[in-house]
Chains A and B, each alone.
Chain A
Amino acid sequence: MDRRDAFRHNVLTAGHRACSGCGEAMAARMVGDLIGPDAIYINATGCLQVFTTHNQQTAWQVPWIHSVFANAAAVAAGVEAALRGRGKATPVVVQAGDGGTFDIGLQCLSGMIERGHDVLFVCYDNEAYMNTGVQRSSSTPHGVRTTTSPPGRLSQGKHELKKDVISIIAAHHLPYAATATIAYFPDLKAKVEKALGIEGPRFLHVLSPCPLGWAHDSALSVTVSRLAVETGLFPLLELEHGELTGVMRLAEQKPVRDYLRLQGRFRHLFDSKEGLEEIRHLQALADTRIRRYGLLDAETTWDTHSAMHGARHGRGGYARAAGPAAGEGNDGS
């Protein structure tokens, strides 16, 4: 098997132990195949690391290292430093979940960026500590049920807002930071390819639905990811040196209820007066984000309709012809 034959070689191969419908597995497959096998991958502790390297087995067909939870960005920085001056530019890629990015991993990530390491950091964000049983992270949106932010007599779920990590990262004025998700593959592809062409620290934040922790049907991962974007809750952005340079326009704004209704992690909000108030807050949050980033008026060639139907030719087998074939129910993998 020629590993440079992208049509036949997967960076992340079959046989791993992800749950069915895992958004992170889809995202990692997509990103990995876009980057290709000529790269070194550093993985933080989390779902991706666990389900791909269970008990003496591995699903990785690339050089791959897992150290501990907090330090993936620092280990990657070390790898990158070792490769400097060796002539060949092997991409150094970090894969981390929201825990390894927003919380326990934030210190090392900030250090790596601040020192300007030539590392691509990819965060697969499933909005909680899923691997250990769905405990809240700072990435968990407010109002969400997790085992450490449970609804109860005195609580409607997570009290705090989802940490605005892209702004924190962008404030480092790094060359490139972007958000993406599995429902918009051409957009994700464009961003990965753009990132690969830039030197220095780069950051990709990929929203990755989790059927188990978000409590949605495992067939709906792509649908849920699409709604996160279409409601304005998860804007698709590009920031370069701290400035907003790209935005995916919403062809239409969907109400947050359409998104919440599909997921058991929000179900309790529909059961009480306080809960319904939280839903109003979430809608207000979405509206604020839309206004902040100009998601309804941005002048751009990409919007949430064209991005699904747009053809994009290049590496990998995901090119899709324009037309109604793309869209609902396709999971892109």
Chain B
Amino acid sequence: MRRLLEGSQAVAEAVRLCRPRVVAAYPITPQTHIIERLAQHVADGELEAEFISAESEFGAASLVQGAVAAGARSFTATASQGLLLMTEVLYNIAGMRLPLVMVCANRALSAPINIFCDHQDSMALRDAGWIQIYVESNQEAVDSVIQAYRLAEACELPVMICMDGFLLTHTYEPVVLPAQSAVDEYLPAFHFARALDPARPMTLGGGSEADNYQEYRVAQQRAMENAETVIEAFDAEFGEQFGRHYGGMLQGYRLEGAETVLLVLGSLMGTVRDVVDGLRERGQAVGALRLRCFRPFPAQGLVRLLAEARRIVVLEKAFSPGAGGMLAAEVRAALQQAGSMTPVEGVIGGLGGRDLTPDVIEALLRDGTPADTGTLRFAPAHREQGAPSHG
């Protein structure tokens, strides 16, 4: 049944349907409604789980690490500063190959402090060894959480579902929630072979030296490479069972005959679809490509889908000061590796929740030239958002 739900509420329902046994979290805007909903479910006996209010995000990450290590399917959610505070533990979880699912409600980083959406937080964790999936809509958030548990547990890799803060978490929009029985069918029970258990004692997180450390990391890399096929397969299976799928790692929009292609992550794709439709109506051969999966990086798929494009524009909501956009850099590298000469223009925008409106996006597509590809460009503000003071 299709219902109008707030994104956070929908995600909490999805988590509940996955039957986690431990939920540990620390509140941070804009993730709060997710964990509040889960707390209420537990208080009402609708979710049989331990709900733990951690003393900090560092604590929350540590709690779920312990819980998964002991064999319990677990969940946490955070954003921004909280994600950064968890960083040490998140690398640790990935290094230990623990299957954990987390939702990151994408939000800007301090200083200055800003509670609104951009991708600086999850981008800062792109090297941690977590699978990163960026969702476009609340429906995709629901479906991806469910896929994520299966993915994490099959690959023994932690999965971060990145969901735009406020834009998705606090937005009411139509969502279909799957039935419990259907989720149970798609998502088998969690059995962790390396769980901490006196019957089969194992040491997790031991020491390593130069003669073997690299091999651990290589194994992680192989697991990530292998995950590419698994992500595609599980999304396709989800599509067969539930009638909805998202293209696996990449989702294109009107790429057929597109001379110019705009690449984005997350909910921005919704606006981009409208812009592409508008430009197509005016006879311009424009298309769009959303990276659903940023880690592992879908290099092959990208190269294939961008083969016909004459101009590629990457619009991203994060960048590395002193360098440039991470997404643009990786897209460029993937294309160059494959021998493509198509120039990639990088544009940074939407930082700190600044709205990327159709007119601004259109102007970017209209005004750029190949000569601009070497310069770091920032998207102009929509005329209303350029004004100081009241936000």
Contacts and interface: CB of A to CB of B under 8 A. Distances in A.
A147 B26 contact: no
Interface in B21-69: 26-29, 32, 35-36, 39-40, 42-45, 51, 53, 55-57
9 interchain residue pairs of minimum CB distance: A152-B43, A104-B56, A155-B43, A152-B44, A147-B36, A135-B27, A103-B55, A148-B39, A132-B27
A300 interface: no
Nearest to B81: A68
B53 A148 contact: yes
Interface string A146-164: 0111111111000000000
Contact of A135 (B32, B43, B113, B390): B32
A133 B45 contact: no
A269 to B, nearest CB: 15
Contacts of A68: 81, 85, 110
Contact of A103 (B56, B81, B389): B56
A188 interface: no
Given A135-B27, A136-B53, A152-B44, A147 B113 contact: no
Contact of A153 (B43, B53, B57, B389): B43
Interface in B6-33: 26-29, 32
Interface in B98-149: 110-111, 113
Contacts of A70: 56, 85
B81 A152 contact: no
B55 A152 contact: no
B257 interface: no
Interface of B: 26-29, 32, 35-36, 39-40, 42-45, 51, 53, 55-57, 81, 85, 110-111, 113, 388-391
Given A68-B110, A103-B56, A151-B43, A55 B35 contact: no
Contact of A154 (B44, B53, B391): B44
A183 interface: no
Contacts of A153: 43-45
Scoring B32, B42, B113, B389 by chain A CB atoms within 10 A of each residue's CB, the highest score goes to: B113
A136 B32 CA distance: 12
A226 to B, nearest CB: 29
A148 B29 CA distance: 14
A52 interface: no
B113 A66 contact: yes
Contacts of A67: 111
A147 B39 contact: yes
A218 to B, nearest CB: 23
Interface in A129-180: 129, 132-133, 135-136, 138, 147-155
Contact of B391 (A55, A104, A136, A147): A55
A154 B51 CA distance: 13
17 contacts: A55-B389, A56-B389, A68-B85, A68-B110, A70-B56, A104-B56, A106-B55, A132-B32, A135-B36, A135-B53, A136-B53, A138-B55, A147-B36, A148-B27, A148-B36, A150-B40, A152-B45
Given A55-B390, A132-B27, A135-B32, A152 B40 contact: yes
Given A103-B56, A104-B55, A135-B53, A149 B39 contact: yes
A129 B27 contact: yes
Contacts of B56: 69-70, 103-104
A69 B113 CA distance: 11
Contacts of B55: 103-104, 106, 138
Nearest to A131: B29
Interface string A103-135: 110100000000000000000000001001101
A45 B40 CA distance: 26
Nearest to A55: B391
Given A55-B391, A135-B35, A149-B53, 4 more contacts: A66-B113, A68-B85, A69-B85, A151-B43
Contacts of B29: 132-133
A267 B238 CA distance: 45
Contacts of B27: 129, 132-133, 135, 148
A69 B39 contact: no
Contacts of B28: 132
A70 B54 CA distance: 13
Nearest to B52: A148
Contacts of B113: 45, 66
A281 B208 CA distance: 52
